[in-house]
Structure 1
């Protein structure tokens, strides 16, 4: 019995032999199965190694540096800007200031027409001079009244002497008349002379009192005139201040901005004419979340990155922390005790001091956006010193 010939099984990945198509064109060769590339495996292993290395570096940086840093992009450059405004009203005579230009302390910025104010100063001076003349006149009257008092006192002494003499004459005449050595007429004459002397003495006393009272009146008038002079001097000083206020000068060195004045304009007291930004008075207010404040203390270092110059960060210092969240100082603070309540993370301004050398470069202009990153590890000694104080 003859056995069947053995045939090898067809492998799954082998395709049947190709046969020609009906149109006579040769059939396509069968697709070969994909083979795993050693190059791809190398790339995957390398990428995994790079990822692991990157994660290790990031983890190390976070553990040693990152977890101690607090950052916010809600930070802006600020400055104590002065508003140039007139103290008095009037027409603008000249405007030496130029927009966006630098000025020094004491430079003339705006000058108002000062003719009316000069006239007011002259009038005030004339009133003071007139009052000075009045005071001098009253002083002379006081001196004259003192002389009148001395004269009245002398007349009083004379009257007293006459009274004593006539009283003695009356006593003698009365004795003589009693012994019939003097006539009744002589006695009557002596009595009349005595009474006249007594009346003259009383009149002299009244004249002295009147002279002294007039002296007090003159002294009071002089004191009143001197007080009035003080008022007139104050009015003169006020007029001089108003005259000086017609010249608006720079309170400190800085750059002029927001110019809003031209020659011929009529301005009133307090009207905004321009703004003066100080040279080295800028700072950064970083508004950190309340959840970020725990580790922030004055004296710590802050990395400041301006949006206008992101490639050159600047190292500043935490100067102070606001005593309350920003919403407390808003015009209309929220009332959380009424209506539905939705908790919102509040922000607290942190003032950051910028080095003077960086301010002199002129890059920190008020209003610019900043990214502030506080290193809570720094400033430990400063913080302990502040707490000890």
Structure 2
């Protein structure tokens, strides 16, 4: 055999050996890893956010698609002029009602003080007058008793005088004594009448106190009514302040703007999506793995991902969930095998892989690629 044939055989042998080595490695790799290209980047925390409880004209948009945002960061603003005008009107109403309430409270305080004084004075006055009236009545009785006795003496002395048994001076003394007693009685009766007038005035004071109590009760009702109105308006005020706050749209969490739905000048209603925000670190790989490749795949299995958009970038992850039903189970149009026609196809089971390593800023929902999941023995 010449040298050329030997060299040719050697080359062929080497190629066969290399092919065998590659084939063995390929087969070994396929046995150690579950490989599929049914791979999609998804997120379990996508939020379409919009203005809540308010509507109006969009006057500012602070973020664009692809921007990374922080929780609480301002994203958009609608015109809040009408809400602020309504708030000012309510604040003026509250101020007016509080002024009315303050005036009624001052009036109530004044009447309450007058009432206390009237009650004390009227009660004491009537009590004192009644005591004095009792004393005068007793005095009048005593004077009347004296007058009655003196009248008897007067008649007896008058008879004796007519018979000439006593001097006229003695009779005149009795006459003078009777006149003094009668005048004393008249004076006491006049004082008694004056006391009766004073009692009526005291009773009028007591009645006035009763009227003042009614006035205070009515004032209390008016004050309570104003207080309830103020409380209701304060609730409206608080609600309007919240609505004004809602005219600024803020990021609900740290994330990236995936989609902007409106432009400046658009009129939007409550609940209409303004942005779609994907939460930071919420990306995962959704794998539809053939049932024939499930053996050895468990939660915690290591996975290596390459995305078609970035073929030179590699991501790592771990299996987080393995579905309990095939993807076909929830298909909108399930297979109909009731006619007896059946073609066996490998079913695909959803496998969720949480990304642990890689450039997260490159991830976009919907990107496709390839995944290799290391099988456990």
- 1:117 correspondence with 2:83: yes
**Structure 1 residues 199 and 376: alpha-carbon distance in aligned structure 2, compared to 1, 3 A threshold:** farther
Higher relative contact order (CA 8 A, sep 6+): 2
CA gap 1:145/1:99 in 2 versus in 1, 3 angstroms:
same
Task: Decide whether the 8 Å contact of 1:261 with 1:273 is kept in 2.
Answer: yes
Is residue 94–residue 110 contact of structure 1 (8 Å, CA) maintained in 2?
yes
Corresponding position: 1:296 with 2:298: yes
The answer to whether structure 1 residue 160 and structure 2 residue 122 are counterparts is no
Partners of 2:322 and 2:105 lie apart in 1 by 65
Change (3 A) 1:55 1:368: closer
Matched, 1:364 2:363: yes
- Contact residue 166 and residue 193 of structure 1 kept, 8 A: no
In 2, Cα distance between equivalents of 1:356 and 1:270: 36
CA deviation profile, 1:285-341 (whole Å, cap 9, x unmatched) = 4455789499532x443323323234533111344567988799x79899x9xx899
Q: Structure 2 residue aligned with 1:82, among 47, 63, 87?
A: 47
Q: Distance in 1 between matches of 2:295 and 2:189?
A: 115
Aligned-partner Cα distance in 1 for 2:231–2:325 = 48
TM (normalized to structure 2)? 0.66
Q: Whole-Å Cα distance in 2 between the matches of residues 321 and 162 of structure 1?
A: 101
In structure 2, the residue matched to 1:309 is: 310
| Whole-angstrom CA distance in 1 between matches of 2:307 and 2:114 | 87
Superposition deviation, residue 157 in structure 1: 1.9
- 1:230-284 Cα offsets, whole Å, 9 max, x none, are 2222222222232333333444554434333233322222222332334544233
Report the equivalent of 2:154.
none
Q: Deviations over 1:33-91 (max 9, x none)?
A: xxxx999999998888777666655665566x34xx58672543225233242232222
Secondary structure, in 3 states, of the residue corresponding to 1:354? strand
1:147 Cα shift?
0.8
Q: Residue 273 of structure 2 aligns to a residue in which SS? A: coil
Deviation at 1:143, TM superposition (A): 1.2
Work out the CA distance in 2 between the residues paired with 1:120 and 1:293: 66
CA contact (8 A) 1:280 1:356 kept: no
1:148 and 2:132 correspond: no
With over 3 angstroms needed to count, the CA separation of the structure-2 counterparts of 1:286 and 1:156, relative to structure 1, is farther
Q: SS of the counterpart of 2:59?
A: strand
CA contact (8 A) 1:149 1:211 kept: yes
Structure-2 change in CA distance of 1:128 and 1:356 (3 Å): farther
Correspondence for 1:170: 137
Unaligned stretches of 5+ residues in structure 1:
1-36, 379-389
Other-structure match for 1:219:
220
Q: Which residues in structure 2 correspond to 1:1-389 (within 5 Å)?
A: 57=25, 61=29, 65-66=32-33, 69=34, 73-78=38-43, 80-87=45-52, 88-103=54-69, 108-153=74-119, 154-174=121-141, 176-177=143-144, 180=148, 204-287=205-288, 292=294, 296-297=298-299, 299-319=300-320, 350-355=351-356, 358-359=359-360, 362-375=361-374, 377=376
Unpaired runs of 5+ residues, structure 2, are 150-180
The Cα shift of 1:189 comes to: 7.0
Deviates more, 1:142-151 or 1:251-260: 251-260
**Whole-angstrom CA distance in 2 between matches of 1:377 and 1:94:** 54
For the residue of structure 1 that corresponds to 2:249, the secondary structure is strand
Structure 1 distance, partners of 2:38, 2:142, is: 124
Distance 1:105 1:288 in 2: 36
Gap change, CA 1:275 and 1:52, over 3 Å in 2: closer
Counterpart CA distance in 2 for 1:158 and 1:143 is 24
